[in-house]
Amino acid sequence: MKTRFRLLLPLLLLASTRLPMAGSEPSQKPTYSRDPSSGLLMAPDWELVRNNCIMCHSMMIVVAQRGTRTRWERTLEWMRTQAGMPELSPDVAHRILRYLEVHQAPIAVGRRRPIPPDLMPPNPYASQ
């Protein structure tokens, strides 16, 4: 009996952490449409991002990139110092970085998982 309880307890605890509390609403992130011409999510400040980035390059370059806030800060600094991007006001830079940090952040899954070794064909170049 104790063995069964020890096996069931972790499952019950796990299940209870996944269930919403009575009377609570699950928090939902807002969903945004994509702008068909730029590919950006039409979240707050998306037009600011589009209008500042499209002066020098295609928006597809931005949409294809992912990065942390630090990465985006470095990218903007490089564009300002090396590519001739005009200086942004602190408020505009903050709003652009906030948008990129939230909507162009790294994603956990970018590629498919590797094929398991037992399903791989023999490697003809492997040393034996």
**Helix, strand or coil for residue 53?**
helix
DSSP letter at 83? S
The token pair that represents 21 in the structure block: 């509390």
What the block records as the tokens of 67 is 């990065």
The residue type at 50: R
Q: How far apart are CA 53 and CA 47, in angstroms?
A: 10
pTM for the whole structure:
0.64
Instruction: Please identify which residue in the block is written with the tokens 């023999």.
Output: 122
d(CA 52, CA 40): 13
Token output for 103: 């909507």
Instruction: List per-residue pLDDT tens for the chain, 128 residues long.
Output: 455 545 544 544 444 444 444 444 556 778 999 999 999 999 999 999 999 999 999 999 999 999 999 999 999 999 999 999 999 999 999 999 999 999 999 987 667 777 888 888 888 888 76
